[in-house]
Structure 1
């Protein structure tokens, strides 16, 4: 079961390569992005380690069941609904962003709303599957896509067009103090562990998480790559001109493997697969939080039949995503994503520390018994 935890960490860190995280970091490249990334690596790793302690103290239980052990329904229901909304927004931002990318780079003749509607239908179906099935979907998605993505990332460092002087120039600004926007963007790369707020239900009582040193290693590699490689390709000034900076960066690379020449098409297709897997996975997590608010809610890891509530909640999530995309433009989406990232920082720290305190109490009870 160790690998499933690291699947969640990997998919969150890698997917944000194509979203607003690199853009927000690059905007502060002279004014605190480097120190923000260093701080994010420290605090993000600490939060991840604390959360793994919580998992060990409550094997087989998700966050809704943990809260239900200590608080009445009228207290836990609003909290679970709020957490469900936080997860839902993260996946909707990703799906909406990729609908725009597909419309812009792959199929400009089709409306982004039509593309988003089709993607939402696929994600709704994936979200309604069982918790066990969803973690298997994440595994298959990563196995099929991550090796090619890593190959492209490593080849980017060997590209003759990469300007190492531009990267070293930006690195000299590490003394500037961190900024909230940059820190919120950078630390989000370390939050893949939060998927186990629901998937901890799959862990047996004797579960032990090993190789935790992989968390900072993987996340720091993705964070450094997402920030410095675009600067090396586009320069210290021009790099700030692009919203989806990695789509343009991928378009700057070529490969000599027969018909596989333009990297951007392969890169976008690979990340399209990851975005569908991620959105279906996170919508499932949000759905489980919303279901925990219902009376007589009972978690099921792998039910024989898909509950009707799964379809109702998932369809509402998909419909809300499409309607929101119709009402907001790209600038408003960016503002929403930035504010959500800042809010998520506060929610993450409070949630993890509070769960950590509960886990210490649970460990004391086990020793006393």
Structure 2
């Protein structure tokens, strides 16, 4: 079961490329972006150790079920709705950004709204499946796509176009203290562990999380590549000109492998798969949080048939996502995402501390 925890970690780590995280860090490269890279693994590791330690004491239970043991129902319902909105929005900003990206790099004549509708229909249908099915889909998605992304990252690091002088210039700003926005962006890469809030329902009694020390190291390596590779390709000043930084950076690389020449096409196809998996996962978590507010809805990890409530909730999510695209643009989306990243960081800290304190109370003799 440890591998399912790893897959969720990798999913969020790789999807940070689509969440404006590289652009936010690069925009603050002279004002704390570098030091945030060092602070983020420490913060992420502490929160991850606390959260996994707490959730391990409640095998088979999700975050809402744990809160119901100690807190009034109205508070649990309010918290669940808040978390549902957070998860819905985390997936929405990704799928909306990718729909715009397809319009920008693949087919400029295509209607962005039509592209988004096709994507949200596929993601919503997949999200309506059982939690166990979602875990299997994430596993398949990571096994198929992660090696290709890691290969592209490796080729970029080894590329002769990479200018290490630009990287060294920016690295010298490591002494500048990080800001809240840089910490919020950098710590996102370690947020995959928070999926355990509901996927903990799948874990059997006496389960133990193993090799947790690997996650901060792996996340730190991915974070370094995420930040420094675009700087090495575009220079210390030119790197600030792009919003979809990694899409442009991948277009700077050429491979001589038959039908694969422009790496951007391979990059976008792979991230199309991961975007759908990430949206499916986020909407499924949001849906489960909403369902936990109703007494009639009991948590099931492998229901043979999707309840009607699943389709109703996901229809609301999908409709809200399309409306978000219609009433916003790239600049507004970037601004909202920046505020959401800060809100997410503080929400994550409070949520982890909350369940950790509750798990310590459980050890006290009654």
* Pairing 1:123–2:123 present: yes
Q: How large is the RMSD of aligned CA atoms in angstroms?
A: 0.9
Q: Which residue of 2 aligns with 1:9?
A: 9
Taking the aligned partners of 2:364 and 2:2, their CA distance within structure 1 comes to 25
1:23-172 to structure 2, matched below 5 A, reads 23-172=23-172
Structure 2 CA distance, aligned partners of 1:352 and 1:190?
13
Kept after mapping to 2: 8 A contact 1:164/1:232 = yes
Task: Please list, as runs of the form range in 1=range in 2, the aligned pairs for 1:233-248 lying within 5 A after superposition.
Answer: 233-248=233-248
Corresponding residue number in structure 2 for 1:183: 183
| CA distance in structure 2 between the aligned counterparts of 1:250 and 1:264, rounded to whole angstroms | 5
Asked whether 1:201 is paired with 2:205, we answer no
Deviation of residue 70 (structure 1)? Answer: 1.0
Q: Shift in Å at residue 19 of structure 1? A: 2.6
User: 5+ residue gaps in structure 1?
Assistant: none
Moved runs in structure 1, 4+ residues, more than 3 A? none
Q: CA deviation at 1:215?
A: 1.0
Question: Contact between 1:156 and 1:229, CA under 8 Å: does it hold in 2?
Answer: yes
Check conservation: 1:17, 1:222, Cα contact below 8 A.
no
Q: CA deviation at 1:128?
A: 0.1
Structure 2 unpaired stretches of 5+: none
Counterpart Cα distance in 2 of 1:255 and 1:49 = 40
CA distance in 2, matches of 1:11, 1:121: 21
Q: What does residue 259 of structure 1 align with?
A: 259
Are 2:22 and 2:226, in contact at CA under 8 Å, matched by a contact in 1?
Answer: yes
Structure 1 CA distance for aligned equivalents of residues 265 and 252 of structure 2? 11
Q: Is 1:120–1:318's contact at 8 Å kept on the other side of the alignment?
A: yes
1:210 corresponds to 2:210: yes
Give yes or no for contact 1:95–1:276 (8 Å, CA) kept in 2: yes
Deviates more, 1:293-302 or 1:225-234: 293-302
Q: Is the 8 A contact 1:11 1:274 kept in 2?
A: yes
- Counterpart CA distance in 1 for 2:152 and 2:289 is 36
Provide the rounded CA distance (Å) in 1 between the counterparts of 2:214 and 2:139: 17
Partner of 1:22: 22
What is the rounded CA distance, in whole Å, between the counterparts of 1:243 and 1:280 in structure 2?
A: 24
Aligned partners of 2:141, 2:280: CA distance in 1, in Å? 11
Structure 2: distance between partners of 1:19 and 1:289: 23
Aligned residue pair count: 366
> 1:296 Cα deviation (Å)?
2.7
CA distance in 2, matches of 1:118, 1:51: 36
Report the equivalent of 2:173. 173
